[in-house]
Amino acid sequence: MIDKIAWLHLRDGRILSTRSRGKSVFYLPGGKREAGESDAETLIREIREELTVEITPSSIAPAGIFEAQADGHTTGIVVRMTCYTAEFAGTLTASSEIDEVAWLGYEDRGRVSAVDKIIFDHLRETGLLR
């Protein structure tokens, strides 16, 4: 099991997504926790590292837990994505580890990872993603 934390940041029916250097698919911003980190600490650190903005800790709210086959791993390796919404301060800017930042709609579902596809479906069903 790969344990990851992700930020769901939606605007005008689209979701913020990133494509890391050397990757062909988009992933929701976030990543793996470091030893001893809470979900909130992981979210704050990962978003700062990837998008150079500061998550507002008091605004962090749970948005669901999703699981799927992990991209690029042998069959049976599952990624568990614990998702949160949160407000932020600063200007969204791709860090050196991010090749591209995009606002994706449901029509872009084929461009994202397996677990992100499940999240896209959930957001579409709840009317948050167009």
User: Which region among 38-47, 59-68, 72-81 has the lowest average model confidence (pLDDT)?
Assistant: 72-81
Tens-digit pLDDT profile for residues 65-110: 999 999 888 999 999 999 999 999 999 999 988 999 999 999 999 9
Task: Look up the CATH number of domain 2-125.
Answer: 3.90.79.10
107-112 contact pairs (CB < 8 A, 24+): 108/17, 108/26, 111/25, 111/26, 112/17, 112/25, 112/26, 112/27, 112/28
- If you average pLDDT over residues 2-21, what whole number do you get? 96
Find how far residue 120's CA is from the centre of its chain: 11
What length is written for the chain?
130
In the prediction, which pLDDT does 72 show?
82
What are the domain boundaries of the chain? 2-125
Residue 17 near residue 28 (C-beta atoms within 8 A):
yes
Share of the chain above pLDDT 90, in %: 94
In the prediction, which pLDDT does 2 show?
94
In the prediction, which pLDDT does 35 show?
93
In the prediction, which pLDDT does 34 show?
95
In the prediction, which pLDDT does 38 show?
97
Tens-digit pLDDT profile for residues 12-29: 999 999 999 888 999 999
Give strand pairing partners of 78: 69
